[in-house]
Structure 1
């Protein structure tokens, strides 16, 4: 297991992809969907994929996680990953990490994860798109580009993931603004000779259900991996149903898919959660274009049971997740 390296890192949970508010919880209805039916295969594009420096496995899918640390320090971050890996009896392929706009990649804990063979998926909360396009953050973007270049290992970079969330509209402005900012940042990275980034475009499953997420897509020439964040939170349904519109869209593009965040809420009970995770494993395997899956192992503070997703401590649910990660399919 990884040894802890001391350094202070402030990582606020508001960066995490759920970013759920504290609205009053609604009583959760009992689970009713059929989680035993074979999932429909949708995303079966066989490639070849242009995935950037982080290559997709020929068969199977990588597995990773974001693990909420008990303490928001580097020691806490390392302990969180180490603890989950110990319980799983295996190392994670991908370690998801959230960074504010001004937080640089390449911290000692980043280096520790890399030294142990993990790949970093950096969820980077870039700022107001129009201020980016006005050049207000050029120095910051260049600094991050140089920091990532110095890593000397492939990095999955989720630039402002979940950009389609309605509560981000004030800083995203529009799909056109987001696309322009994406291209602007990529150009700065090119100028800084950064060649170890795989660019990951990651909206929400809800954005595809609403129909507005595709309007934020920068284009096949700009994106290396397509991505989606999907949760059985307030709505309990099979994962294939929740992310079905995204899978149908992604199947038309020669890009590998990473499920950037997925989770099933505690509101649905241990048995329901375990069944949902077993169905998720079947769904991932039925859609071979999915080349990586990353669990959101966190209970964001202040949220009720429909918005808490930690599996540790829930024996039936954790057992189902353990079976998923020990499956040879998820150990390519």
Structure 2
């Protein structure tokens, strides 16, 4: 099975960036300096000493961050803030989000927006879902994949791509998330038209030099939808991360049939196992990093709600391909609320989880990305 070529960001000289901290007397670079060494495949790696990153000279720490931002030492922690209120989410979390999930329409040329640019400037990663909908019109009406393939939005897409290329920073992108969901599947077009539209968009971005765009294929991950995934796969060379969702919706008034309780692991496992076991049979590269694009639970009781979130880091350690997780901090209806800041027990569990070292990557790991772009 071919995994497809890995894109090299124009501002990054190394295929794999390696943080190796061995102190002033250790191997590699001299104290205070950096050097390039050859990796296992002969590709250059960037070495840094502990003093460079503000650590004691005798510190030993190793971590790698790939050019598509896959960390070897833990998981990025993020979220989609309710009404775009990032401050409220981060106050509830008791920490800064590594990744912020945002939403735009394919008809919007202002991607990234000013707020997205500000988040990038402040050191966060942004993940924008570009919906096949017209966000510039009331009601955000849907767009057919045929219209996209026909070139109706090419000019807008070129503008988006040039703006993202100009950031000279990595930027996560998804086209039309949850294409496997009942309300979307075969509604905006066929699965084949979805995959063609995805490739059409990626090709435009690449022609405009947006090699810093990191493409995240997102589906619901629901067990009943897994047989739809092969027909929605754009191809290994057009996808960098694989993403799905992990929800518990007990008592949600929009899901009246949901009477059971799914733990975070219960929600994560089916798609994970399908990708690992069945994905390769359908040409899906199961070694690609995984992002849990949205997660959360409704109120299932004080202790249970707290534990649902508190267990997340423990579960993640058991699913090694998962390298990013984002909470969906929003409200569907009065009877279906996932905002962590309005539920004392959700907030406490989420805050505790976010302090776990596995999902609280140190600032020195983020600096690895910054050094790469300074090369």
Scaled by the length of structure 2, the TM-score of the pair is 0.67
Alignment of 1:93-242 (within 5 A): 93-103=98-108, 104-126=110-132, 127-169=143-185, 171-206=187-222, 209-234=225-250, 235=258, 236-242=261-267
Alignment of 1:247-258 (within 5 A): 247-251=272-276, 253-258=286-291
1:299 equivalent in alignment to 2:331: yes
- The residue aligned with 2:268 is 243
Alpha-carbon contact 1:141-1:185 (below 8 Å) kept: yes
Render the CA deviation track for 1:33-57: whole Å, top value 9, x for unaligned: xxxxxxxxxxxxxxxxxx9743111
| Distance in structure 2 (CA, Å) of the matches to 1:121 and 1:158 | 8
1:57 equivalent in alignment to 2:71: yes
Equivalenced residue count is: 269
| Distance in structure 1 (CA, Å) of the matches to 2:265 and 2:93 | 25
Structure 1 residue 324: Cα displacement: 0.8
Alpha-carbon contact 1:65-1:94 (below 8 Å) kept: yes
| Distance in structure 1 (CA, Å) of the matches to 2:74 and 2:226 | 30
**Which of 82, 86, 89 lines up with 1:84 in the alignment?**
89
Q: Which runs of 5+ in 1 are unaligned?
A: 1-50, 70-76
Alpha-carbon contact 1:200-1:223 (below 8 Å) kept: yes
Structure 1 residue 170: Cα displacement: 5.0
Structure showing the higher strand proportion among its residues: 2
Aligned-pair RMSD on alpha carbons? 1.9
- The residue aligned with 1:263 is 296
Change (3 A) 1:112 1:194: same
| Distance in structure 1 (CA, Å) of the matches to 2:223 and 2:163 | 32
| Distance in structure 2 (CA, Å) of the matches to 1:309 and 1:89 | 17
| Distance in structure 2 (CA, Å) of the matches to 1:245 and 1:53 | 28
Q: Secondary structure at the match of 1:295?
A: strand
| Distance in structure 2 (CA, Å) of the matches to 1:280 and 1:186 | 32
Render the CA deviation track for 1:86-108: whole Å, top value 9, x for unaligned: 34332110011111122221222
- The residue aligned with 1:38 is none
Max Rg structure? 2
Structure 1 residue 155: Cα displacement: 0.6
Alpha-carbon contact 1:226-1:250 (below 8 Å) kept: no
**Which of 66, 78, 82 lines up with 2:80 in the alignment?**
66
Render the CA deviation track for 1:85-134: whole Å, top value 9, x for unaligned: 23433211001111112222122211211111000000110332111112
Structure 1 residue 214: Cα displacement: 3.1
Render the CA deviation track for 1:261-285: whole Å, top value 9, x for unaligned: 111013x233222222233332212
